Amino acid sequence: MEHVYLGRSGLRVSRLCLGTMNFGPFTAEEESFKIMNYAIENGINFFDTANVYGWELGPGVTEKIIGKWLAEDLTRRDKIVLATKLYGKMGEGVNDGKLSAYHIRKACEDSLKRLQTDHIDLYQMHHIDRETPWDEIWQAMEQLVREGKILYVGSSNFAAWNITEANYLAKQRHFLGLISEQSIYSLRNRHIELEVIPACKALGVGLMPWSPLGGGILCGVLDGQDSGRRKREPLQASVQKLKPQIEEYEKLCKELELAPADVALAWVLSNPVVTSPIVGPRTIEQLQQNIGALSIKLSAETLEKLDKIWPGPGNQAPEAYAW
Protein backbone atom coordinates (compact mmCIF):
# COMPACT_ATOMS: atom_id res chain seq x y z
CA MET A 1 0.00 0.00 0.00
CA GLU A 2 1.37 3.39 -1.00
CA HIS A 3 1.09 6.24 1.50
CA VAL A 4 1.12 9.89 0.46
CA TYR A 5 0.95 13.29 2.14
CA LEU A 6 -2.53 14.70 2.70
CA GLY A 7 -2.38 18.07 0.99
CA ARG A 8 0.35 20.38 2.24
CA SER A 9 0.35 18.72 5.67
CA GLY A 10 2.97 16.33 7.01
CA LEU A 11 0.29 13.67 7.53
CA ARG A 12 0.68 10.50 5.47
CA VAL A 13 -2.38 8.53 4.46
CA SER A 14 -3.05 5.45 2.36
CA ARG A 15 -3.96 5.86 -1.31
CA LEU A 16 -7.39 4.48 -0.51
CA CYS A 17 -9.59 5.84 2.25
CA LEU A 18 -12.02 3.44 3.91
CA GLY A 19 -15.46 5.00 3.81
CA THR A 20 -17.80 3.67 6.51
CA MET A 21 -21.18 5.01 5.40
CA ASN A 22 -22.56 1.48 4.94
CA PHE A 23 -21.65 0.39 8.48
CA GLY A 24 -24.92 -0.13 10.31
CA PRO A 25 -27.60 0.39 7.66
CA PHE A 26 -26.18 -2.01 5.04
CA THR A 27 -23.31 -3.82 6.79
CA ALA A 28 -23.80 -5.46 10.17
CA GLU A 29 -21.47 -4.62 13.07
CA GLU A 30 -19.64 -7.96 12.93
CA GLU A 31 -18.93 -7.62 9.20
CA SER A 32 -17.94 -3.97 9.70
CA PHE A 33 -15.33 -5.09 12.24
CA LYS A 34 -13.95 -7.60 9.74
CA ILE A 35 -13.72 -4.95 7.02
CA MET A 36 -11.83 -2.56 9.30
CA ASN A 37 -9.46 -5.33 10.39
CA TYR A 38 -8.82 -6.29 6.78
CA ALA A 39 -8.18 -2.65 5.89
CA ILE A 40 -5.43 -2.10 8.47
CA GLU A 41 -3.92 -5.52 7.72
CA ASN A 42 -3.55 -4.39 4.11
CA GLY A 43 -2.07 -0.98 4.77
CA ILE A 44 -5.17 1.22 4.69
CA ASN A 45 -4.65 3.65 7.55
CA PHE A 46 -7.23 6.28 6.52
CA PHE A 47 -10.79 5.83 7.85
CA ASP A 48 -13.59 8.28 7.08
CA THR A 49 -16.99 8.61 8.72
CA ALA A 50 -19.53 11.31 9.68
CA ASN A 51 -21.71 12.00 12.67
CA VAL A 52 -24.91 11.69 10.61
CA TYR A 53 -24.09 8.21 9.25
CA GLY A 54 -26.57 5.63 10.39
CA TRP A 55 -29.42 7.08 8.40
CA GLU A 56 -32.69 5.26 9.19
CA LEU A 57 -31.04 3.60 12.20
CA GLY A 58 -30.32 7.04 13.60
CA PRO A 59 -27.43 9.52 13.34
CA GLY A 60 -24.29 8.46 15.16
CA VAL A 61 -24.77 4.72 14.64
CA THR A 62 -21.76 4.35 12.36
CA GLU A 63 -19.47 6.29 14.71
CA LYS A 64 -20.60 4.02 17.55
CA ILE A 65 -19.64 0.92 15.53
CA ILE A 66 -16.18 2.35 14.90
CA GLY A 67 -15.92 3.26 18.60
CA LYS A 68 -16.72 -0.31 19.66
CA TRP A 69 -14.10 -1.60 17.23
CA LEU A 70 -11.47 0.79 18.62
CA ALA A 71 -12.36 -0.13 22.22
CA GLU A 72 -12.03 -3.85 21.43
CA ASP A 73 -8.27 -3.39 20.87
CA LEU A 74 -6.73 -0.13 22.09
CA THR A 75 -3.69 -0.55 19.82
CA ARG A 76 -5.89 0.05 16.77
CA ARG A 77 -6.30 3.77 17.40
CA ASP A 78 -2.66 4.57 16.70
CA LYS A 79 -2.76 2.57 13.48
CA ILE A 80 -5.31 4.77 11.74
CA VAL A 81 -5.92 8.36 10.71
CA LEU A 82 -9.48 8.88 11.90
CA ALA A 83 -11.64 11.38 10.04
CA THR A 84 -15.22 12.36 10.78
CA LYS A 85 -17.56 15.15 9.71
CA LEU A 86 -20.08 17.59 11.18
CA TYR A 87 -22.80 19.86 9.79
CA GLY A 88 -25.90 17.69 9.46
CA LYS A 89 -28.87 17.83 11.80
CA MET A 90 -28.19 15.73 14.89
CA GLY A 91 -31.32 16.54 16.91
CA GLU A 92 -34.45 18.64 17.10
CA GLY A 93 -32.80 21.68 18.69
CA VAL A 94 -32.39 24.86 16.66
CA ASN A 95 -28.60 24.66 17.13
CA ASP A 96 -28.25 20.93 16.43
CA GLY A 97 -26.71 21.41 13.00
CA LYS A 98 -24.50 23.53 10.75
CA LEU A 99 -21.30 25.31 11.85
CA SER A 100 -21.97 27.70 14.69
CA ALA A 101 -19.31 27.68 17.40
CA TYR A 102 -22.02 26.27 19.67
CA HIS A 103 -22.65 23.29 17.42
CA ILE A 104 -18.99 22.71 16.53
CA ARG A 105 -18.12 22.28 20.21
CA LYS A 106 -21.06 19.99 20.96
CA ALA A 107 -20.72 17.96 17.76
CA CYS A 108 -17.03 17.31 18.47
CA GLU A 109 -17.67 16.25 22.07
CA ASP A 110 -20.46 13.90 20.96
CA SER A 111 -18.35 12.33 18.19
CA LEU A 112 -15.47 11.75 20.60
CA LYS A 113 -17.83 9.88 22.95
CA ARG A 114 -19.30 7.73 20.18
CA LEU A 115 -15.88 7.00 18.68
CA GLN A 116 -14.45 6.24 22.15
CA THR A 117 -11.32 8.26 21.49
CA ASP A 118 -9.79 11.44 22.90
CA HIS A 119 -9.07 13.08 19.57
CA ILE A 120 -10.13 13.23 15.92
CA ASP A 121 -7.29 13.37 13.42
CA LEU A 122 -9.21 15.11 10.61
CA TYR A 123 -12.36 17.06 11.47
CA GLN A 124 -14.31 17.92 8.34
CA MET A 125 -17.12 20.33 7.62
CA HIS A 126 -19.66 18.26 5.67
CA HIS A 127 -21.04 21.26 3.77
CA ILE A 128 -20.54 25.00 3.52
CA ASP A 129 -22.52 27.03 6.08
CA ARG A 130 -23.44 30.29 4.34
CA GLU A 131 -24.85 31.90 7.48
CA THR A 132 -21.97 31.44 9.94
CA PRO A 133 -18.98 33.81 9.53
CA TRP A 134 -15.54 32.31 9.08
CA ASP A 135 -14.18 34.16 12.11
CA GLU A 136 -16.60 32.19 14.28
CA ILE A 137 -15.86 28.87 12.58
CA TRP A 138 -12.08 29.27 12.74
CA GLN A 139 -12.15 30.46 16.34
CA ALA A 140 -14.08 27.33 17.31
CA MET A 141 -11.75 25.04 15.35
CA GLU A 142 -8.66 26.71 16.80
CA GLN A 143 -10.01 26.09 20.29
CA LEU A 144 -10.49 22.38 19.55
CA VAL A 145 -6.91 22.19 18.24
CA ARG A 146 -5.58 23.89 21.38
CA GLU A 147 -7.49 21.40 23.52
CA GLY A 148 -6.03 18.48 21.54
CA LYS A 149 -9.47 17.26 20.47
CA ILE A 150 -8.77 17.64 16.75
CA LEU A 151 -5.52 17.83 14.79
CA TYR A 152 -6.45 18.95 11.28
CA VAL A 153 -9.48 20.52 9.57
CA GLY A 154 -10.96 19.55 6.22
CA SER A 155 -13.98 20.35 4.11
CA SER A 156 -16.52 18.44 2.05
CA ASN A 157 -18.79 19.61 -0.77
CA PHE A 158 -17.17 23.07 -0.85
CA ALA A 159 -17.01 25.19 -3.97
CA ALA A 160 -13.57 26.37 -5.08
CA TRP A 161 -14.20 29.89 -3.81
CA ASN A 162 -15.30 28.49 -0.41
CA ILE A 163 -11.98 26.62 -0.11
CA THR A 164 -10.04 29.71 -1.19
CA GLU A 165 -11.85 32.09 1.16
CA ALA A 166 -11.55 29.68 4.09
CA ASN A 167 -7.81 29.27 3.67
CA TYR A 168 -7.16 32.95 3.00
CA LEU A 169 -8.93 33.91 6.24
CA ALA A 170 -7.25 31.07 8.19
CA LYS A 171 -3.85 32.32 7.06
CA GLN A 172 -4.71 35.79 8.38
CA ARG A 173 -5.30 34.15 11.77
CA HIS A 174 -1.98 32.23 11.51
CA PHE A 175 -3.98 28.99 11.40
CA LEU A 176 -3.27 26.06 9.07
CA GLY A 177 -6.80 26.04 7.64
CA LEU A 178 -8.15 23.34 5.34
CA ILE A 179 -5.79 20.53 4.37
CA SER A 180 -8.36 18.40 2.51
CA GLU A 181 -11.57 18.52 0.52
CA GLN A 182 -14.06 15.73 -0.13
CA SER A 183 -15.89 16.19 -3.43
CA ILE A 184 -18.03 13.94 -5.57
CA TYR A 185 -15.85 12.87 -8.49
CA SER A 186 -15.95 10.03 -10.99
CA LEU A 187 -16.08 9.40 -14.71
CA ARG A 188 -19.81 10.03 -14.42
CA ASN A 189 -19.46 13.36 -12.57
CA ARG A 190 -16.51 15.55 -13.54
CA HIS A 191 -17.78 19.02 -12.58
CA ILE A 192 -14.95 19.68 -10.10
CA GLU A 193 -12.41 19.68 -12.93
CA LEU A 194 -13.60 23.23 -13.69
CA GLU A 195 -12.53 24.93 -10.46
CA VAL A 196 -12.29 22.70 -7.36
CA ILE A 197 -9.40 20.59 -8.63
CA PRO A 198 -7.36 23.63 -9.77
CA ALA A 199 -8.02 25.30 -6.40
CA CYS A 200 -6.91 22.22 -4.47
CA LYS A 201 -3.75 21.99 -6.56
CA ALA A 202 -2.89 25.66 -6.08
CA LEU A 203 -3.62 25.75 -2.35
CA GLY A 204 -2.10 22.41 -1.33
CA VAL A 205 -5.44 20.88 -0.36
CA GLY A 206 -5.64 17.09 -0.57
CA LEU A 207 -8.54 15.79 -2.67
CA MET A 208 -10.59 12.86 -1.36
CA PRO A 209 -13.17 11.97 -4.03
CA TRP A 210 -16.38 10.40 -2.78
CA SER A 211 -18.56 8.15 -4.95
CA PRO A 212 -15.64 7.33 -7.29
CA LEU A 213 -17.73 4.49 -8.73
CA GLY A 214 -20.50 6.84 -9.82
CA GLY A 215 -23.06 5.60 -7.33
CA GLY A 216 -22.91 2.13 -8.90
CA ILE A 217 -23.25 3.22 -12.53
CA LEU A 218 -19.60 2.29 -13.17
CA CYS A 219 -19.70 -1.09 -11.43
CA GLY A 220 -20.98 -3.31 -14.23
CA VAL A 221 -24.70 -2.78 -13.79
CA LEU A 222 -25.60 -4.11 -17.25
CA ASP A 223 -23.48 -7.25 -17.25
CA GLY A 224 -24.63 -8.31 -13.79
CA GLN A 225 -21.34 -7.70 -11.98
CA ASP A 226 -23.15 -5.57 -9.41
CA SER A 227 -26.66 -7.00 -9.29
CA GLY A 228 -27.10 -5.92 -5.67
CA ARG A 229 -26.71 -2.22 -6.41
CA ARG A 230 -28.84 -2.45 -9.54
CA LYS A 231 -31.94 -3.21 -7.47
CA ARG A 232 -31.93 0.29 -5.99
CA GLU A 233 -34.60 2.44 -7.65
CA PRO A 234 -32.53 5.66 -8.05
CA LEU A 235 -29.83 3.65 -9.80
CA GLN A 236 -32.34 2.03 -12.15
CA ALA A 237 -33.50 5.46 -13.31
CA SER A 238 -29.91 6.55 -13.96
CA VAL A 239 -29.17 3.34 -15.86
CA GLN A 240 -32.01 4.01 -18.28
CA LYS A 241 -30.89 7.60 -18.80
CA LEU A 242 -27.23 6.74 -19.36
CA LYS A 243 -27.62 3.32 -20.98
CA PRO A 244 -25.78 4.08 -24.27
CA GLN A 245 -22.73 5.38 -22.36
CA ILE A 246 -22.81 2.49 -19.91
CA GLU A 247 -22.97 -0.03 -22.75
CA GLU A 248 -19.97 1.57 -24.44
CA TYR A 249 -18.09 1.74 -21.14
CA GLU A 250 -18.69 -1.90 -20.22
CA LYS A 251 -17.70 -2.96 -23.74
CA LEU A 252 -14.37 -1.15 -23.33
CA CYS A 253 -13.80 -2.77 -19.93
CA LYS A 254 -14.34 -6.21 -21.47
CA GLU A 255 -11.78 -5.39 -24.16
CA LEU A 256 -9.35 -4.40 -21.41
CA GLU A 257 -10.24 -7.59 -19.50
CA LEU A 258 -10.83 -5.48 -16.40
CA ALA A 259 -13.83 -5.13 -14.10
CA PRO A 260 -15.74 -1.87 -14.67
CA ALA A 261 -15.38 -0.89 -11.00
CA ASP A 262 -11.60 -1.36 -11.21
CA VAL A 263 -11.35 0.83 -14.31
CA ALA A 264 -13.45 3.55 -12.66
CA LEU A 265 -11.29 3.59 -9.54
CA ALA A 266 -8.04 3.45 -11.53
CA TRP A 267 -9.24 6.44 -13.56
CA VAL A 268 -9.81 8.54 -10.44
CA LEU A 269 -6.42 7.50 -9.05
CA SER A 270 -4.74 8.56 -12.31
CA ASN A 271 -5.43 12.23 -11.53
CA PRO A 272 -2.27 13.59 -9.82
CA VAL A 273 -4.30 15.97 -7.64
CA VAL A 274 -6.24 13.09 -6.06
CA THR A 275 -4.89 11.96 -2.69
CA SER A 276 -7.20 9.13 -1.62
CA PRO A 277 -10.51 8.12 -3.18
CA ILE A 278 -13.09 7.10 -0.58
CA VAL A 279 -14.34 3.55 -1.10
CA GLY A 280 -17.36 2.33 0.85
CA PRO A 281 -17.36 -1.47 0.75
CA ARG A 282 -20.31 -3.44 2.08
CA THR A 283 -18.23 -6.64 2.20
CA ILE A 284 -14.59 -7.70 2.51
CA GLU A 285 -14.76 -9.00 -1.07
CA GLN A 286 -15.58 -5.51 -2.33
CA LEU A 287 -12.66 -4.05 -0.36
CA GLN A 288 -10.34 -6.70 -1.81
CA GLN A 289 -11.39 -5.65 -5.30
CA ASN A 290 -10.88 -1.97 -4.47
CA ILE A 291 -7.33 -2.64 -3.27
CA GLY A 292 -6.62 -4.59 -6.44
CA ALA A 293 -7.42 -1.51 -8.53
CA LEU A 294 -4.34 0.22 -7.10
CA SER A 295 -2.12 -1.90 -9.33
CA ILE A 296 -3.92 -0.88 -12.53
CA LYS A 297 -2.24 1.79 -14.67
CA LEU A 298 -4.41 2.98 -17.53
CA SER A 299 -2.67 3.81 -20.79
CA ALA A 300 -2.96 7.21 -22.48
CA GLU A 301 -5.02 5.53 -25.22
CA THR A 302 -7.45 4.08 -22.68
CA LEU A 303 -7.76 7.43 -20.88
CA GLU A 304 -8.58 9.07 -24.21
CA LYS A 305 -11.29 6.49 -24.91
CA LEU A 306 -12.78 7.01 -21.45
CA ASP A 307 -12.85 10.77 -22.08
CA LYS A 308 -14.92 10.19 -25.20
CA ILE A 309 -17.40 7.94 -23.38
CA TRP A 310 -17.64 10.10 -20.26
CA PRO A 311 -16.61 13.59 -21.40
CA GLY A 312 -15.60 16.16 -18.83
CA PRO A 313 -15.55 19.94 -19.25
CA GLY A 314 -12.43 19.62 -21.39
CA ASN A 315 -10.32 22.00 -19.35
CA GLN A 316 -10.37 24.09 -16.19
CA ALA A 317 -12.28 27.37 -16.02
CA PRO A 318 -12.33 29.69 -17.91
CA GLU A 319 -10.70 27.85 -20.84
CA ALA A 320 -13.43 25.20 -20.70
CA TYR A 321 -16.04 27.70 -21.81
CA ALA A 322 -14.17 30.80 -22.96
CA TRP A 323 -10.53 31.17 -23.97
Domain count, the chain: 1
Instruction: Please indicate, yes or no, if residue 19 is contained in any of the structural domains.
Output: yes
Active site residues: 53
Question: In angstroms, rounded to a whole number, what is the distance separating the alpha carbons of residues 128 and 182?
Answer: 12
Residue 322 belongs to some domain of the structure? no
Domain-embedded: residue 275: yes
Nearest alpha carbon to residue 287 among 299, 278, 296:
278
Which residues are paired to 210 by β-bridges? 184
Q: Do 161 and 131 meet the contact criterion of CB atoms below 8 Å apart? A: no
Tell me, what amino acid is at 115?
L
Opening angle at CA 227, ends 34 and 231, nearest 5: 105
Is residue 257 in a domain?
Answer: no
Its domain, for residue 94, covers 3-216+262-299
Encode the chain (323 residues) as per-residue pLDDT tens digits: 999 999 999 999 999 999 999 999 999 999 999 999 999 999 999 999 999 999 999 999 999 999 999 999 999 999 999 999 999 999 999 999 999 999 999 999 999 999 999 999 999 999 999 999 999 999 999 999 999 999 999 999 999 999 999 999 999 999 999 999 999 999 999 999 999 999 999 999 999 999 999 999 999 998 765 555 546 667 878 888 899 999 999 999 999 999 999 999 999 999 999 999 999 999 999 999 999 999 999 999 999 999 999 999 999 999 999 99
- Please check whether residue 321 lies inside any domain of the structure: no
- Please tell me whether residue 128 adopts helix, strand or coil conformation: coil
Give every CB contact of residue 313 below 8 A, 6+ residues apart in sequence.
190, 191, 193, 194, 320, 321
Please give the pLDDT value at position 91. 93
Residue 156 included in any domain? yes
For residue 218, what pLDDT is reported? 96
182 within some domain: yes
CATH number of the CATH domain containing 194: 3.20.20.100
pTM: 0.95
Assigned domain for 21 exists: yes
